[in-house]
Chains A and B, each alone.
Chain A
Amino acid sequence: QSVLTQPPSASGTPGQRVTISCSGSSSNIGENTVNWYQQLPGTAPKVLIYANSQRPSGVPDRFSGSKSGTSASLAISCLQSEDEANYYCAGWDDSLNGVVFGGGTKLTVL
Chain B
Amino acid sequence: EVQLLESGGGLVQPGGSLRLSCAASGFTFSNSAMNWVRQVPGKGLEWVSAISGGGDSTYSADSVKGRFTISRDNSKNTLYLQMNSLRAEDTAVYYCAKRGSGSWSNFDYWGQGILVTVSS
* Interface positions of A (Cβ within 8 A of B): 2, 32-35, 37, 39, 44-47, 50-51, 56, 86, 88, 90-92, 96-104
Closest to A89 in B: B105
Q: How many residues on the B side are at the interface (Cβ–Cβ under 8 A)?
A: 25
Asked whether B110 lies within 8 Å of A45 as measured between CB atoms, the reply is yes
Asked whether A92 lies within 8 Å of B104 as measured between CB atoms, the reply is yes
Given contacts A91-B105, A100-B105, A101-B44, 16 further A-B contacts (CB under 8 A): A33-B103, A35-B107, A44-B113, A45-B45, A45-B95, A47-B108, A50-B108, A91-B103, A92-B103, A96-B62, A97-B59, A98-B47, A98-B60, A98-B61, A101-B45, A102-B44
A35 to chain B: which residues have CB within 8 Å? 103, 105-107
Asked whether B106 lies within 8 Å of A51 as measured between CB atoms, the reply is yes
Q: Report how far A99 CA is from B107 CA in the complex, Å.
A: 11
Closest to A103 in B: B44
Closest to A100 in B: B47
Asked whether A45 lies within 8 Å of B59 as measured between CB atoms, the reply is no
Q: Report how far A44 CA is from B94 CA in the complex, Å.
A: 10
Asked whether A51 lies within 8 Å of B103 as measured between CB atoms, the reply is yes
Closest to A32 in B: B103
Asked whether B45 lies within 8 Å of A50 as measured between CB atoms, the reply is no
